[in-house]
Structure 1
Amino acid sequence: MDYAFDFARVWEYRWVFGRSILLTVEISLLSIMLGTAIGVLVGGIRAIDKPSAWVWPLWALSTFYVYLQLAIPALVLLVWMYYCLPLLGIGLSSYWTAVIALGINLSPFAAEIFRSSLRNMPRGELQAARAMGYTEWQTLVHFTLPQFLRNSVPPLMGQYYTTVKMSSLASVIGVFEIINTAQEVINSTYKTLEVYTAVALCYALIVIPFALLAKRYEDRVFVERT
Structure 2
Amino acid sequence: MEFLNDWAEWSPRLLQGLWVSVQVTGLALLVGVPIGLGLAVLASVRSRIVRWIVIVYVEIGRGMPAIVMLQMVYFGLPDAGIVLDSYFATVIALALTTSAYTSEIIRAGLRAVPEGEVEAAAALGLKQWDVLRYILAPQGLRIALPTLLGFAILILQVSSLAFTLGLPELLSQAYSIGASTFQYLSVLTLAGVMYLIITVPGGWLVENLEKRMSRHLT
TM range (shorter): 0.7 to 0.9
- Greater RCO, CA 8 A, separation 6+: 1
Q: Which 5+ residue runs of structure 2 have no aligned equivalent?
A: none
* Structure 2 residue 31 is matched with structure 1 residue 34: yes
The match for 1:43 is 40
Contact 2:94 2:155 survives alignment (8 Å)? yes
Equivalent residue, structure 2, for 1:91:
83
After alignment, is 90-99 or 58-67 more displaced?
58-67
Deviations 1:135-159 (A, max 9, x none): 7759954x43442123211222222
**Is 1:70 equivalent to 2:66 in the alignment?**
no
| Aligned residue among 119, 122, 139 for 2:114 | 122
- 1:20 and 2:17 aligned: yes
Give the 5 Å matches for 1:110-189.
110-128=102-120, 140-141=133-134, 143-189=135-181
- In the alignment of these two chains, the number of paired residues is 216
Q: Secondary structure of 1:169's match?
A: helix
Mind listing any 5+ residue stretches in structure 1 that lack a counterpart? Answer: none
Moved more, 215-224 or 147-156: 215-224
The sequence identity of aligned pairs, in percent, is 29
TM-score (norm 2): 0.87
Task: State how far apart, in whole Å, the 1-side matches of 2:13 and 2:41 are.
Answer: 42
Tell me if 1:11 matches 2:1.
no
Residue number in structure 2 paired with 1:190: 182
Deviates more, 1:82-91 or 1:56-65: 56-65
Letter in 1 for 2:15: G
Deviations 1:114-153, CA, capped at 9 Å, x for gaps: 222222320113445677x797759954x43442123211
TM-score by length of 1: 0.84
Supply the distance in 2 between the matched residues of 1:191 and 1:7 (Cα, whole angstroms).
13
CA 1:129–1:70: 2 relative to 1, 3 Å:
closer
* Mean CA deviation greater in 81-90 or 164-173: 81-90
Aligned position for 1:204: 196
Q: 1:104 to 1:84 in 2, by over 3 A?
A: same
Corresponding position of 1:108: 100
Confirm or deny: 8 A CA contact 1:10 1:189 kept in the other structure: no
Amino acid across the alignment from 1:88? A
Residue equivalent to 1:82: 74
